Structure 1
Amino acid sequence: MVDQVWTAVDDYWNGHLLAPDAALDAALAANTAAGLPPIDVSAAQGKLLNLLARSIGAQRILEVGTLGGYSTIWLARALPAGGSLITCEIDKAHAEVAESNVARAGLADVVDVRVGPALDTLATLDGPFDLAFIDADKVSNTEYFQHALRLSRPGGMIIVDNVVRAGKVVDAASTEPSVVGTRRFAEAIAAEPRVDATAIQTVGAKSYDGFVLAVVK
């Protein structure tokens, strides 16, 4: 019942603040048709990513975890003329869907989809990036964050999604890999003097979760 209320509230505010969007709707439909898991960010969360990128004047964006490119489109739309986004996706089939969705949205010249293990891709990149969005396997969140920090400019923003895990993050006895990985990331970012960060719990169409937002000093 609570989840239904959370979704209804999302729908209410989305109806007031988000305009109909054929490209984003088509991306979600293509993802479903291709059998991708329905783990994209919500529309409200996508708009938040877009607003955060615009608020810092992001010109180069790094994304870890493309899936079908839904969040990629939201982020890429925040870029000014001449801006660019590199997104990392391990699954070739997912990457192909994402590239099609991005092209349909008119962003093929802006977005560079890199296929392969993200840690391998990240090791080859040069900064600086203005914003990094990490939304891939949670086991490797600490390493993704460390690369994002290395590649970020002072004043840059790093966002790490799915850090609450429906409250499971507080279970120190959990052996679930995503929870263990998230707790390891929590320890790493808490000990990192080069960022100032906070964690925000969220409810809505994607149920109960949250994200970490960090600013590089």
Structure 2
Amino acid sequence: MKIEEYIHSLFTKDDRILDDVLESIHANSMRNISVPPEIGKLLTLLVKISGAKAILEIGALGGYSGICLVRGLGEKGQLTSLELMDEYAELAHKNLKKAGFGDRVTYYTGEALKSLEQLEAEQKKFDFIFIDADKPNYPNYLDWALRLANPGALIVADNVLQRGRVCEEPIDDPRIEFIRAFNERVANDPNLESIILPIGDGLSIARVKQ
């Protein structure tokens, strides 16, 4: 048994709500690029530990990670989710409603960078920011996360190891270079305390210093 399989067997159980989300993604001919169950559980745990009340999610897809994030919130916590595609946001909201969280989430659709500008104009601040969207914009999303984060906020990003390709010699794939730049910034930014966990496809966790 591989390490990933061992972790999965111990800490992830049957979850009809999340299984329904995956089924809806397949039924709508969307790519199944949701976070794996162990990452979903870790997101819930991190939100609980952080005590976050306001979460920003960059990349909604079908609502899988959104459900995991809201599960960690207290009764009055809210999720703001950014999604490029209107139909994806509609499916995500439908799935969050089925999970009982429909009134806990607000969606902004369109290019995430424009939505982030709108959030700043609305003077929104967040205690927890989860990045799981187009990889070339990861460095830009980190810049925005720092602008929108409350002191002590967590900034979490998925897919930061790219199946180990970030560790290889230079390769002809601009996406890898953007992720490397993101990882180096997270590691060296004086405003952050951070680490990468080799779980799933790599999860970066950073805390904004107070």
TM-score strictly above 0.5: yes
Could you tell me whether the CA contact under 8 Å between 1:158 and 1:215 is conserved in 2? yes
Match of 1:196 among 193, 196, 199: 193
The size of the alignment, in residue pairs, is 206
Residue 23 of structure 2 is aligned to residue 29 of structure 1? yes
* Local SS of the residue matching 1:109: helix
Instruction: List aligned pairs for 1:59-70, cutoff 5 A.
Output: 59-70=53-64
* In structure 2, C-alpha distance between the alignment counterparts of 1:162 and 1:67, rounded to whole Å: 15
What is the deviation of 1:5?
3.2
Could you tell me whether the CA contact under 8 Å between 1:127 and 1:153 is conserved in 2? no
* In structure 1, C-alpha distance between the alignment counterparts of 2:140 and 2:167, rounded to whole Å: 21
* In structure 2, C-alpha distance between the alignment counterparts of 1:72 and 1:106, rounded to whole Å: 12
What is the deviation of 1:20?
3.4
Residue 145 of structure 2 is aligned to residue 151 of structure 1? no
> What RMSD, in angstroms, separates the aligned Cα atoms of the two structures?
1.6
Give the 3 Å change call, closer, same or farther, for CA 51–11 of structure 1 in structure 2.
closer
* Local SS of the residue matching 1:32: helix
Cα deviations by residue, 1:29-79 (Å, 9 ceiling, x for unpaired): 111111111111111110100010000111000000111110000101211
Match of 2:131 among 117, 134, 140: 134
Amino acid at match of 2:38: A
What is the deviation of 1:6?
4.8
What is the deviation of 1:92?
1.8
Report sequence identity in percent. Answer: 37
The aligned counterpart of 2:35 is: 41
The aligned counterpart of 2:74 is: 80
* In structure 2, C-alpha distance between the alignment counterparts of 1:8 and 1:200, rounded to whole Å: 16
The aligned counterpart of 2:205 is: 213
Unaligned runs of 5+ in 1: 204-208
Which structure is richer in relative contact order (CA contacts within 8 A, separation 6 or more)? 1
* In structure 2, C-alpha distance between the alignment counterparts of 1:171 and 1:200, rounded to whole Å: 18
Give the 3 Å change call, closer, same or farther, for CA 97–154 of structure 1 in structure 2.
same
Residue 114 of structure 2 is aligned to residue 123 of structure 1? no
Unaligned runs of 5+ in 2: none
TM-score under structure 2 length normalisation = 0.91
* Local SS of the residue matching 2:79: strand
Match of 2:10 among 13, 16, 29: 13
The aligned counterpart of 1:176 is: 173
* In structure 2, C-alpha distance between the alignment counterparts of 1:20 and 1:35, rounded to whole Å: 23
* In structure 2, C-alpha distance between the alignment counterparts of 1:177 and 1:110, rounded to whole Å: 36
Greater alpha carbon shift after TM alignment, 115-124 vs 4-13 = 4-13
* In structure 1, C-alpha distance between the alignment counterparts of 2:19 and 2:202, rounded to whole Å: 24
Could you tell me whether the CA contact under 8 Å between 1:195 and 1:216 is conserved in 2? yes
* Local SS of the residue matching 2:46: helix
* In structure 2, C-alpha distance between the alignment counterparts of 1:96 and 1:112, rounded to whole Å: 11
Could you tell me whether the CA contact under 8 Å between 1:139 and 1:178 is conserved in 2? yes
Could you tell me whether the CA contact under 8 Å between 2:187 and 2:195 is conserved in 1? no
